[in-house]
Amino acid sequence: MTHAWLPRIAALAALALPALAQGEFTFNINQSQSNFTWTGTSTLGPIVGNPSNAFQLAGTAGMRIYPLGNDAIASADFPGTGSAAVVPNIRGKINNVLPFLPPLATIAIDNLAMKFSAPQFTVAPNGSFTATVTATYLSGVATITPLGQAPTTTNLTGQQSAPTPQTGTLTQVGTTLNLVMPVNTTFPFNDPASGVTGTFSVAGTMRGSWALPAAGTYCTAKVNSLGCTPALAFTGTPSWTNGLPFVVSASNVLSQKTGLAFYGYAPSSAPFQGGIKCVAPPTFRTVNQSSGGSASGADCTGTYSFDFNALISSQVDPGLVPGRKVYAQIWSRDPASPSLTGLTNAVQFTIAP
């Protein structure tokens, strides 16, 4: 196995990728553990649950993670992706000052969902962080029915809370990330039709997790001039911090022929040199490697092997960061083929922190 191809990758990466990259993560919110309560104020009086002021969050929340040196999670931000839905729909009322009389108004909030955004913040070695979080409603309709009047509706989409510091934790167990983020924030509301104004505050803790997606092969290899179909395989776990190899290999290739691996950040299925190019541009290639195998060079006993964790940990390519999805394929010489080349199928994998 050789890592002599790293310097070439470094030169290409410096031309094509930003100096500071970040990985995208989508956390699945654990609904049963993401418990919240709401309170409200209005110009007519306090808003109370009808019957309950409890709810949960369900859905997803997006986060970007920035590595630095050997720290896979040096900082992060919330880019405002994902959708956290409020479950169940919210029902409230404004009690009459005379308790035996009907409520002054009832309030229903349906199909409420929100996203979270925060500028970049530092993540401590123990996973703790403080982020200035803004919550934005992605959807939701508030219906207010004042006593003795017709109901009025207000579209809540786009309304935002004030940016509020929230202290949470982001921890790693194996290849799983766990996010715990208390949320304590307030939204203003205004219903022009009824004239009711006030605030709606939520308090609770959102809990979510991200698990490393399984790597897998895709696309179609090109049958070589001896009738052999190259087979691509992988072993290990792609990771920023894992010291063990993550090897992408090819077997059933022509022996004693030069080959290389190339990779990129999107898949493709484009005709290429008599086969299929499975990786979309821009692509980055390794230096050449011999397939070895039989000394005669007239059979399919050759193999190639590339350790991508060595490349990831070298940090010569700023695009290979935790959370990044990578697509890779192996190209080789095939002098008896009309195109003079061979192609394997491809592998896709996501880099763990």
Q: Of the ranges 86-90, 119-123, 228-232, 283-287, which one carries the lowest mean pLDDT score? A: 283-287
Which H helix or E strand runs over 342? strand 341-350
In the chain, the percentage of residues whose pLDDT exceeds 70 is: 94
Task: Give 295-334 pLDDT, tens digit per residue.
Answer: 987 899 999 999 999 999 999 899 999 999 999 999 999 9
Burial call 174-206: b when 16+ CB within 10 Å, e when fewer: ebebbbbbebbbbbebebeebebebebebebbb
Q: Coil, strand, or helix at residue 313?
A: helix
Domain ranges of the chain: 6-17+213-350, 34-211
Superfamily, domain 6-17+213-350: Immunoglobulins (2.60.40.10)
User: Does the structure show a pLDDT above 70 at 1?
Assistant: no
* DSSP symbol at 239: B
What pLDDT band is residue 17 in, cutting at 50, 70 and 90? very low
Nearest CA-CA partner of 222 in 329, 307, 301: 329
What is the pLDDT, as a whole number, of residue 207? 98
Determine the residue type at 23: G
What is the pLDDT, as a whole number, of residue 194? 77
What is the pLDDT, as a whole number, of residue 333? 97
The answer to whether the Cα torsion of 298, 300, 302, 308 is positive or negative is positive
**Angstrom distance (rounded) from CA 94 to CA 77:** 38
Q: Mean per-residue pLDDT for 1-11? A: 44
Length of the chain measured in residues? 353
Summary mean pLDDT of the chain: 92
Nearest CA-CA partner of 114 in 132, 142, 139: 139
Q: How many CA atoms lie within 13 A of 272 on its CB side?
A: 22
What is the pLDDT, as a whole number, of residue 9? 45
